[in-house]
Structure 1
């Protein structure tokens, strides 16, 4: 990712640069960016303050530590990729000891919660997504430069109060760090790149229109790349040898299964002619399909691009599973796709036609169809733990059904899967390929902790939930309120702070979620495209300026229209279907709030609580449940 800094160089170069030249370079840089607002006088004053303070401080640090200033690096207004768009970090300092200091300046007497969160977020963004910052020792500072500033406490950010143009805490830490030995080449840092996973929506747009898979420099992203390469090679082998394969790809929530599936479909389409390969991504999650289709339509029009010299039609390569199923039930010859990705295949139905007692399962139907083709690859993306629909199989049931379905083809289909599933096959002997086990989440480093918090909340373990909430507080705010307007104001203030000065933070999304059986709240986003109301595709995809956007806060998605999708910040209206009574969460006694099976309620809340990429705000009207959520570590808005 081509990102720049307003001014960067060695400390020696900074100590020699003229103030007017320095300020003019920052002004020119600011004008060159396509995402910044018009420069305000306050910003120029801030740069002048930073220049004076940093020049005095770095000169003092060099003398006291006896450091060669050519071995240290400083970058002002370093572009970085935050949640939902670009922003610029005020000052980055890189030392030959392998220390990185990310410093935010505020000409204020008091820092807001959101400003502290941004300072920490900038530091964590560098350490996690900047290729040359990964592995460095990070230090976050927020410097308040106005006289009489008020100190704050934070686990990840040091509060620095400027005193007579000096920053004593930062100065002392720089000197201490530089007295250690080290041989890190700071020039390497200046050449680093950002690799940050976007949302599934913007990832889809990049995959189809920018011809690349978004990825991080982590073991998780390497796993995805390896899995995609393995699928592409398998497809070419199947095509050359006229073979048929069914491949199980396993991954926990957030491991990148959907992104893997979409990017592989795009790669097959790009490498072969579409008519030769007929690749398609299928999902039984109709809302996800609508959103992905709208993503391609919306961004295709904005970017004015195509694939293979033709306009992208999202309905061709991304389709509702039920349409595909309807066609092959009628005739195997009606569909000629040779590379098919079945997303969330663990949700496959035990009967392709639920009302027909003699109906085969969906997996049997798909295997029968694949067996009739001259060649092809069927990819089954599977996870576990979020069943919310009737007729869905659990993962264990699905695997047993797959065992039976492949066996019924009498050798016409070869199964490939990770060893954790291969060992459970009783009727077939699949090929074991652990490259198809996506073990690590690629969303954020604290995803596993968020999952632990959700499980603790749902299992009535407030003590564990509180401990986990505390451990991710600096990265992932968990907030609770009894006011819809306060929740919305929190969201708007967070977006404005994270993207201060950004005139087009189009990727930031925040909106309301609600339980389908939780009782009345606001209008439900319409997942049935034939009914009037807010449309689910535009609700997720279109920017905050659109009347159809989720950021308007006038309609909410239920668990049926948000599974597999994410928001930057999730606002969730806790319903009347799950309330805290007598020391535990209990299901509603009123049948209007009960689901067909009790475990569907827990599965629904597990989905709803995990949709936020960067935070969660719960609105809870019930006083006992509200107190329970506070005891689970949520802070009151």
Structure 2
């Protein structure tokens, strides 16, 4: 092809920090990047479209050499004999017709030939997954410079937390710092960097009430010191050892899940009698000098009994303690000032943009609209998500879903998948799945080990519930939708049987599914069992833009 003589070809370019994913061929020419994937099939399947769209998505978002370029996904099933066609924005052609596509791209006048070497060496800057970031910090290695994180002022936000914490410590003051944000916006990243910052003037500790997250991090790092369980930390200091805490800066991740007084009394068997926020603030009474609590809060994610009090738990805790002032985002100001509590507005402390990628923010919006019954708006977002390489697909056959995922990640051992389900969906056994028990001890293995490991989530034998996946992610989860939340008529209806004493069980169910719907980095597959009571839910998903596998 003389038309393409001075164009660039890159074979099997491996996307950095992406688990070994590599498109078969990159063709560079004229400000256009063809992303070409060959498949040993006679016709493309759903997983093939999603795979090549995923490559285009990640290259366009993270690869410096693809900025301001037009990226074109191309599928070439080697046994395909039909005419070229386009579907979901992907051009599909037989091997003999690939030349036609390249000639078409190469036909326009070129100002200069592409610099293939420079393209290959261009920076690729995805946000590291939470576990990877923790590993780097634990090993005292610098986090990679992430363009998205810098654009969202993550370094400036960390510096502001450090400044306020140091000022409080130096002046022997007590300060509560509140940081809110949407899922994936970098709250935990701020907490990790602050807890292990060398710029703090006092010892710090990172606590979490999220047991599965603590379990995964401790498993990966082989250390119980990097992140600690809030429940165990409080018991150690207030009950077992009755000693002053060494740390003067306490960082509490997922603070929206803080237990109220009744839940603390129940879980600590009467040994502690106050809310978790009040107990954390009370630690200041045991030390001399300043004390700082940094609360990292995701909003609308309360899923446990005892978590429904939300920000009011923190207002009551500050009211019941002495000498505390509060810094946080503007939208929480009134809750504290109405209670007579000093409050400094910090604009940097509300994180409204997901760092994962544009798709993650859109997925959260889709889930919110879908659960809110706004079908047309949800469908528009789902269509756009598919176009940018983040498909939401569904099937009523669990084996079909598993085959789709294995096709999608064929040859990429590092990718992590698994089944997730509502804690109220108790009849998974007919589909070959068991729900993780409440005392599940294998979260580290479930999330981090490959399919060959007997406890790996990739075997699709054990489903993790909303309690086991909040704050954690998979590359492509399978959400097993249960009959506990169904679309009936014109609304979502909860079917819970005998529920615990909670204020709003339906809202907790919506929150649970909101968490479950937003766990995927590369896509989401929904398994809707064939039971008749879920027919309306299946149809609702279809109208909200979910594609059948």
Q: Same fold (TM over 0.5)?
A: yes
| 1:218 paired residue number | 148
Say which is worse superposed, 556-565 or 145-154, in terms of deviation. 145-154
Task: Verify the 8 A CA contact 2:46 2:404 in the aligned structure 1.
Answer: no
| 1:13 paired residue number | none
- Residue 168 in 1 paired to residue 76 in 2? no
**Which of 248, 257, 263 is residue 338 of structure 1 equivalent to?**
248
- Residues 281-333 of structure 1: CA distance to partner in whole angstroms, max 9, x if unpaired? 11112222112211211xxxxxxxxxxxxxxx2x2231111112223434773
Task: Verify the 8 A CA contact 1:281 1:317 in the aligned structure 2.
Answer: yes
From the superposition, tell whether residues 99 and 243 of structure 1 become closer, same or farther in structure 2 (CA, over 3 Å). farther
- Residue 421 in 1 paired to residue 353 in 2? no
**Which of 267, 289, 297 is residue 214 of structure 2 equivalent to?**
289
- Residue 134 in 1 paired to residue 67 in 2? yes
- Residue 261 in 1 paired to residue 194 in 2? no
Task: Verify the 8 A CA contact 2:281 2:318 in the aligned structure 1.
Answer: no
Task: Verify the 8 A CA contact 1:219 1:440 in the aligned structure 2.
Answer: no
Secondary structure in 2 matching 1:293 = helix
From the superposition, tell whether residues 245 and 192 of structure 1 become closer, same or farther in structure 2 (CA, over 3 Å). farther
| 1:325 paired residue number | 234
Cα displacement (A) at 1:183: 11
- Structure 1 unmatched runs, 5+: 1-55, 63-68, 298-312
From the superposition, tell whether residues 334 and 219 of structure 1 become closer, same or farther in structure 2 (CA, over 3 Å). closer
Cα RMSD (Å) = 3.2
Task: Verify the 8 A CA contact 2:175 2:293 in the aligned structure 1.
Answer: yes
Task: Verify the 8 A CA contact 2:168 2:175 in the aligned structure 1.
Answer: yes
CA distance in 2, matches of 1:615, 1:147: 27
User: Scaled by the length of structure 2, what TM-score is found?
Assistant: 0.86
Cα displacement (A) at 1:150: 5.1
| 1:301 paired residue number | none
Task: Verify the 8 A CA contact 1:105 1:142 in the aligned structure 2.
Answer: yes
CA distance in 1, matches of 2:142, 2:251: 19
- Residues 245-288 of structure 1: CA distance to partner in whole angstroms, max 9, x if unpaired? 322111111212123212332334xx78xxx9543211112222
From the superposition, tell whether residues 417 and 332 of structure 1 become closer, same or farther in structure 2 (CA, over 3 Å). farther
**Which of 344, 348, 360 is residue 447 of structure 1 equivalent to?**
360
Secondary structure in 2 matching 1:207 = helix
Task: Verify the 8 A CA contact 1:292 1:537 in the aligned structure 2.
Answer: yes
Task: Verify the 8 A CA contact 1:203 1:259 in the aligned structure 2.
Answer: yes
- Structure 2 unmatched runs, 5+: none
CA distance in 1, matches of 2:335, 2:488: 40
Matches of residues 95-114 of structure 1 in structure 2 within 5 Å? 95=29, 98-106=31-39, 109-114=42-47
User: Scaled by the length of structure 1, what TM-score is found?
Assistant: 0.75
| 1:309 paired residue number | none
Secondary structure in 2 matching 1:598 = helix
CA distance in 2, matches of 1:74, 1:486: 35
| 2:538 paired residue number | 626
Secondary structure in 1 matching 2:48 = helix
From the superposition, tell whether residues 571 and 382 of structure 1 become closer, same or farther in structure 2 (CA, over 3 Å). same
CA distance in 1, matches of 2:61, 2:385: 15
**Which of 115, 126, 130 is residue 48 of structure 2 equivalent to?**
115
Task: Verify the 8 A CA contact 1:77 1:91 in the aligned structure 2.
Answer: yes
From the superposition, tell whether residues 589 and 157 of structure 1 become closer, same or farther in structure 2 (CA, over 3 Å). closer
Cα displacement (A) at 1:236: 4.7
**Which of 614, 622, 632 is residue 522 of structure 2 equivalent to?**
614
Cα displacement (A) at 1:556: 1.0
- Residues 190-212 of structure 1: CA distance to partner in whole angstroms, max 9, x if unpaired? 43111112332233223323613
| 1:200 paired residue number | 130
- Residues 560-612 of structure 1: CA distance to partner in whole angstroms, max 9, x if unpaired? 11111111111122112122333433222743799772211111111112212
- Residue 575 in 1 paired to residue 518 in 2? no
From the superposition, tell whether residues 206 and 152 of structure 1 become closer, same or farther in structure 2 (CA, over 3 Å). farther
- Residues 430-450 of structure 1: CA distance to partner in whole angstroms, max 9, x if unpaired? 333322222210123112221
CA distance in 1, matches of 2:102, 2:292: 57
Matches of residues 100-499 of structure 1 in structure 2 within 5 Å? 100-106=33-39, 109-143=42-76, 148-149=81-82, 151-163=84-96, 167-176=99-108, 178=109, 189-209=119-139, 211-214=141-144, 216-218=146-148, 222-238=152-168, 240-268=170-198, 277-297=202-222, 313=223, 315-330=224-239, 333-351=243-261, 353-354=264-265, 359-373=273-287, 374-398=289-313, 400-401=315-316, 404=319, 408-410=321-323, 413-422=324-333, 424-426=335-337, 427-474=340-387, 475-496=389-410
Task: Verify the 8 A CA contact 1:517 1:592 in the aligned structure 2.
Answer: no
- Residue 601 in 1 paired to residue 531 in 2? no
- Residues 370-415 of structure 1: CA distance to partner in whole angstroms, max 9, x if unpaired? 354323432110121111112214444245335525xx423xx443
CA distance in 2, matches of 1:464, 1:575: 24
Cα displacement (A) at 1:238: 4.8
CA distance in 2, matches of 1:490, 1:147: 20
Task: Verify the 8 A CA contact 2:306 2:502 in the aligned structure 1.
Answer: no
From the superposition, tell whether residues 566 and 337 of structure 1 become closer, same or farther in structure 2 (CA, over 3 Å). same
From the superposition, tell whether residues 583 and 429 of structure 1 become closer, same or farther in structure 2 (CA, over 3 Å). closer
Task: Verify the 8 A CA contact 1:220 1:440 in the aligned structure 2.
Answer: no
Task: Verify the 8 A CA contact 1:527 1:536 in the aligned structure 2.
Answer: no
From the superposition, tell whether residues 451 and 90 of structure 1 become closer, same or farther in structure 2 (CA, over 3 Å). same
Task: Verify the 8 A CA contact 1:265 1:279 in the aligned structure 2.
Answer: yes
CA distance in 2, matches of 1:230, 1:589: 44
Cα displacement (A) at 1:549: 0.6
Cα displacement (A) at 1:345: 1.1
Cα displacement (A) at 1:510: 1.0
CA distance in 2, matches of 1:227, 1:332: 34
CA distance in 1, matches of 2:302, 2:150: 25
From the superposition, tell whether residues 362 and 188 of structure 1 become closer, same or farther in structure 2 (CA, over 3 Å). same
Secondary structure in 2 matching 1:289 = helix
